[in-house]
Each structure stands twice: as C-alpha cells, then as structure tokens.
Amino acid sequence: MAPYEALYGRKCRSPIGWFEVGESGLIGPDLVQQTVEKVKLIQERLLRAQSRQKSYSDVRRRDLEFCVDDWVFLKVSPMKGVMRFGKKGKLSPRFIGPYQKCVGDPSRVVPIEDVQITEELSYEETPVAILDRQVRKLRTKEVASVKVLWRNKNREEVTWEVEDVMRSKYPHLFHTPG
C-alpha cells in the first residue's frame, strides 16, 4: 500500500489522470484532446479573472493633476542591491522632497543644485553637522556614535551613525578649533 493511500484511504490522483476514481483511463489521442481542452478552460478562466480585477482597480484609479505652486515629492525608483541614504532594501526611501512645482512661468523655475540624481535615480545624502556624541558600552567594547543632521532633512530626521565611519568619510565635520 502506498503512503498516500494509507494516510487518506484512497488512491492518489496524479495530474496526468484527472479523472474520477472508477473511470477508465484515457489512452493516446483522447488524453491529448482532453488535456488541450482543460488548458483552454484554465486560460479562459484566467482571462476572466484578470478582466474582473482590472475593472475593480480601474474604478479607483485617477490621473494626477497638479497646479502651479503645488508641493510634490519626486519618486526614487527602488533598485535591488542599491544603497540609498544609508539604508538598503525596504527601508530605503521611495520619495524625496517636497519640492515646489513651478509650471508655466520659466522665470519661476527654481534650480536644485544641491541634489545630483544619478542615472539609477538615486542621490547621495550628505551630512551638514554633528549635533551630539555618545559612547555605547557593550559587553566587550565601546562604540562611539554621533548624531548627524543631513542636508534636505528636518531636525526630527537626524540619525545616529558610527563615529569612525563618519570621521573617515566626512573629516571636515570633525575639525577642532585651535
């Protein structure tokens, strides 16, 4: 007795024989014809389901419209393996901004020199100042951290970074008056 039969009390129906127990098995061209019909039925049902789902989503979809002086966010496309703003994966930001949209009058267009967007639609966030320093004591070592204020970010969005890494990347932030 097969393990499936012992467990469920009936014979296992394989995908090859999608027929009821007791029916005679189809052989040759009849089997091929029946399989082709089943595949067509599955395709029709998939198309019907896709059409139904599309109609549901189309009801909620609307085109975005902007006016002059609206504040907008720029979408930064997420790319696998690309590190943005010191964060990787699902924690990396999807939008940057807000920026004021100036449409119509070309003299009102504000150039944004401080944000250089690369071909991958990402940009490097640069630190402006070190606000605080602390030393965290672990079991076997001490880790020095600094509180960093980033350009284009509010005071609420400061982050704690490892001091050695920040000192090596941005030594100008650590100059000592003397």
Min mean pLDDT across 14-18, 52-56, 142-146 is at 14-18
- Buried b or exposed e, range 67-99, using 16+ CB within 10 angstroms: eeeeeeeeebeeeeeeebbeeeeeebeeebbee
29-50: average pLDDT: 88
Please give the average per-residue pLDDT across 131-146, as a whole number: 91
In terms of Cβ atoms closer than 10 Å to its own Cβ (0-12, 13-18, 19+), residue 157 is: exposed
Given a cut of 60, whether residue 139 has pLDDT beyond it is yes
pLDDT classification of 125: cutoffs 50, 70, 90: confident
Residue 21 pLDDT level (bands cut at 50, 70, 90): low
What pLDDT is attached to residue 5? 75
- Cα separation, 16 vs 35, in Å, equals 9
Tokens of 38: 């089943």
Contact indicator for 150, 127 with CB cutoff of 8 Å:
yes
Q: Is the dihedral of CA 67, 69, 72, 74 positive or negative?
A: positive
Residue type, 17: G
Bigger pLDDT: 69 or 45? 45
Query: What's the pTM value of the predicted model, to 2 decimals?
Result: 0.37
On whether the CB atoms of residues 155 and 117 are closer than 8 A, the answer is: no
Query: Are the CB atoms for 149 and 126 separated by under 8 Å?
Result: no
Largest distance between two CA atoms of the chain: 96
The predicted-structure confidence for 69-119, as pLDDT tens digits, reads as follows 778 777 766 555 555 555 666 666 677 777 776 655 555 544 555 566 666
Cis peptide before 127 (omega within 30 of 0): no
